Structures are given as structure tokens and as C-alpha cells.
Chain A
Amino acid sequence: MDLPDNIKYTEDHEWVAIDNDVVTVGITDFAQSELGDIIFVEFPEEGMTVNQKESIGTLEAVKTVADIFSPLSGYILELNESLESTPELINEDPYKDGWILKIKISNREELKSLLSNLDYKKIIK
């Protein structure tokens, strides 16, 4: 199971790459393998204000549907529009081309609640 150490994780099986006040969000390798083939991503609207742990969209696999939770508070800065036509990027490359959205965060305090790769590894054991 691939768990890069230069990014953070959440209990909801998402990863967060931090670049100052902008974070990129995706789902972990573990999450994509559990869900199976992702066939559709239901995005939130760009510019929408979001709260930490709030459901902001869904991922549809063939036999199940999972929520996308906002890992941090802020507003939606950008969506990975290539997922509209090729949602399978999430399965093929969850940490790079399969990123889902970017959030401009409003509360840096919340960063402390994120997990390291080792902490996350304990959860999925």
C-alpha cells in the first residue's frame, strides 16, 4: 500500500498536500482499492464555503457510493475537471493525476488534526 510521507492523511481515507494556504485533496490508495472502479465524481461548486468534515461531494464506484468529506475549512478553489471524463484516474494514480479538488483554507489550526502516514497506516491495518 503506497503511503507517501510528504503528505497528510485523514480518518476518512483522504490525503491532503499542503502548500501554504492552499491544500490539494484526494483519496488514499487504500480507499481507491476498497471502492473499486470509480465511474463518476460528483463535485461541489467552485467557490463554495466548506467546513471541516462536511460532505461536499460523492464518488460513485460500480457497486457503491462514498462521500467526499472536506478535510479542512475554507472554500473550494479548484476542481480536477479531467475526472469528469476520466474518473478512473483516481484508481490509476490516486496521489497525482487523481487529485480531486483544491481548498483555500481559512483556519490553519485545523492542520494539527491531520494524520501522518504512520498514524494513518495504523488505522488501515
Chain B
Amino acid sequence: MSHYIPKNEKHEREILDALEIVSFEELVSIIPNQLRVKNGLLGLEKGISEHELNVYIDSLHQGEDFAKKSLCFSGGGVYDHFVPKVIDFLSSRSEFNTAYTPYQPEVSQGTLQYIYEFQSMICELSGLDISNASLYDGASALAEACSLSLAHTGNKKILISKMVNPVYIDVVKTYLKYREVEIKMLPEINGITDIQKVSNMEMNDVACIVIQSPNFYGYIENWNKYSKLLEKHKGLLVSVSDPISLSILQSPGKSNADIYVGEGQCLGNHLSYGGPNLGLFAIKENLKRKLPGRVVGMTNDMNNKKGFVLTLQTREQHIRRSRATSNICTNQGLLALRAVIYMSLLGKEGMPNLAKLCFNKAQYAAEKISKIDGFELFSDRRDFIKEFTVKTKYSSKKIYQKLEEEGFLFDCIDDNLIKFSFTEKRSKKDIDKLVESLRLYHE
């Protein structure tokens, strides 16, 4: 285990001296010999990662049960990424361990500082000017983005691509049910939104166009083309994207989108049976008076020392009352904290490397699955990063029932459409196992 404990010989000597003993052996001599792990018995290889170590140790103590444990190939916004232990450790410290932005916020400078850092990172990732302190989840963040667009433009029509996560679309419809808004779905062609058809639509009375990339089927969309359609109109472009995939895509800001929303669960947060999640929300500066949620700013106090404050509060319902364009005055503080720790651990190189790792695994799996009789890729496109959609001649529900018994989780999109998602946690062995199960599948 010495590779996982940061000590050297000097430290060891100091510890032994403090304990007034001469050797490590003397320290553990109280443990009966037959209960000790003999040198090399754990069989740990040198230089393996934290995740590999966890998997290995789990397999030792869970024995056969471990082999039956589910392999998660499920995605669609919420992903089984690896969560480093240090995130659980830091986020559970008593100074941080609350989901709330405090009611007397300026007293809690540490809380405000991590939110400020979180906002800065989301701005960098999205290429936009201002991020809020987070919202409840990706779906409600999208609904807030639509609501902002309605307030900003005064228009009443929302165009949403059919390739946006259907759960998000449902939430938008629920949110806007009594607002007398027309929600129009944009058609799909070969796995992406049909830009040709959208180009022919009237844009005068549009509040916003919503385009997700990578979209729900996994493919990359071109935000630029949609921002061009809106160039001479008031309507806003709302971009939806997985933040890890975003680290290797052209940012919403560079693509001239006005709003970015995303689901931040994948940034260091556990699956937790479906929630809580973390809504990401960033905008161009000209929309700041209509930004929903809390915002932390950095300023100088009367002694000219750096400090953090809640800012632009006149947007919020406790001040703007009935004129407020959003009624959300809270955020997902604890999950945003975990996200900010996660992003700082991975850094500028780690995030894109992680996305590339997922990309390679998904591409490898797609190659294999496309060759199985009865299964083919939904489209000949290969521009997917973490997940892709498969067409099958079988019933997707029946496949799911069978494969779930064998320990696989994945997504059924439609009667004959299934989707597989790949994170860095899925090894080549895991993928080969999935491919083999699909190969042996018959109805």
C-alpha cells in the first residue's frame, strides 16, 4: 500500500521515534500472525489508479457478489463517472456541509468564495460572460433559460429541437404551461436537428431556439448555424451541453449562443439513484438583469481587502417581488462545491483528457456493436463523445430485461432504439462483456 500513502523513510523514522519503537514490525506485532496480509498477498500492482484500486479491493472482499454488480452504460445527462475520494472528504467538512447559500451570506466568506470560483469555471467552460451560483438541475435550468428568453424578447414562441433530452422538454412544458407560450418542436434528420427545415421558418416572433450538443442521441450539433439564423432577430440561442463533453467542443460563447445550460452531476457528484442534480447556467453580459438565481461577486471592503458578496440581488424575488422574472433564489451549494473541487482536481488538461477517454471507449464499443447481427448504429455519423444510439431489430424492452439480469444498465429510447454511454470507469473488459452479451442475444 505504500504507493497510496504519501510518506517517505524520513517520515516513517519520525513516527517510529515518536512512538518510541524501532520498527514497523514492532508496531503491528500485536496482530496475530495468521490474520496478517503477507507481503504481496494483496497482489497490488504498482502505479494503478484510485479507481482501479477501488475495483480491485471491492472484488477481493465482495467475492462472487462483485461479479454480479451492475455495469452502468446508462447516461442521458446523468453519468457514472469516477468520483475521487478527496471530494467526499472535503465536501463533508463542517465548514462546507450545507446545501444552502447562507441567509447572512457575507459572514460565510469561504462559501461565497467557492461559489465565485465555481462561477468562474463555468464561464470558462461555456465561453460566456456570467454564470450564476447554479440551479436545481439541467432540466429546470433549461426551463429558466426559456423563461428568460420570453422576458427578454417579449416574444411568445419557443423552438426546441426534438433531439433535446425528452425529460428536459417535459419540464419546460410543465414550467410554461400557464404562460400562453407556443412550444414548437424542430424536426430531426439522420440523428441531428434538420437545419435545412429550420432555416425556412419565420424567426421574427421567436423567443429562443434550444439546441443540445451532443444531443440526446449523442451526436454533435452546430450551434453556429442556429445563431446565424437569429442574427437579425431578437430571439436568443439556448445551448444545452454536458460539461465534460463541452471541454473538447467549441464553446457556446464562441458559437455565439446567448445562454448555456447543462447538467453538472457528472462533475464529481454521485448517481444517488437519480438526484439531487446540479443545474449549470451561464449567459452573455447583456442578459444579466434577467439572470435567474444567486450570483456571487468579488469586491473590496472599506479597508480595501478582497471580499465576496451576493450581487445583482435586485433581480431576485425578495426585492423585485411580482416583477421578478424568476422565482429561484437558491442554488445547489453542496453539489456546486463538489463540482468546483472536481474541476480543480482535473484542471485544464484533465477535463479534455477525460472527454477523450470517454470518446475512445464509445468509438471502440460502436465499432464492435455495429458488427453484431440485429444491431446497427442509428446513423452513419461518428461524431459522438460519451454515448451513441443503436437501432435493433429486437424489442428494446426485452433486451433490457435480459441484460439487466446479467448486470448491465443502459437506456431504452424507443421500441427499437437503445443507447449506451461510456465513462472512464468502463474498462475494455467491461465493454467486451457487454458486446458478448449483445452477440448472444436472441428472441
Contact = CB atoms under 8 A, between A and B. Distances in A.
Contact of B323 (A39, A58, A61, A62): A58
A35 to B, nearest CB: 11
Contact of A40 (B289, B319, B321, B323): B289
B319 A63 contact: yes
B323 A67 contact: yes
B319 A65 contact: yes
Interface in B271-323: 289, 314, 319-321, 323
A65 B289 contact: no
Contacts, number: 17
Contacts of A63: 319
B295 to A, nearest CB: 14
A12 interface: no
B141 to A, nearest CB: 24
A58 B314 CA distance: 11
A60 B314 contact: yes
Name B's interface SS.
helix
A64 interface: yes
A11 interface: no
Interface in A60-77: 60-65, 67
A57 B60 CA distance: 68
Contacts of B314: 39-40, 60-62, 64-65
A39 B321 CA distance: 18
B236 to A, nearest CB: 17
Contacts of B289: 40, 42
Contacts of A40: 289, 314
Interface in A30-82: 39-40, 42, 58, 60-65, 67
B440 to A, nearest CB: 65
A58 B151 CA distance: 14
Nearest to B314: A60
Nearest to B318: A63
Contacts of A39: 314
A95 to B, nearest CB: 25
Contacts of B321: 65
A58 B322 CA distance: 13
Contacts of A62: 314
Nearest to B154: A45
A67 B319 CA distance: 13
B31 to A, nearest CB: 65
Contacts of A60: 314
B233 to A, nearest CB: 15
B323 A64 contact: no
10 contacts: A39-B314, A40-B289, A40-B314, A42-B289, A58-B323, A61-B314, A62-B314, A64-B314, A64-B319, A67-B323
Interface of A: 39-40, 42, 58, 60-65, 67
List 3 tightest A-B contacts by C-beta distance, closest first.
Answer: A60-B314, A65-B320, A65-B314
Interface of B: 289, 314, 319-321, 323
Given A40-B314, A64-B319, 8 more contacts: A40-B289, A61-B314, A62-B314, A63-B319, A64-B314, A65-B314, A65-B320, A67-B323
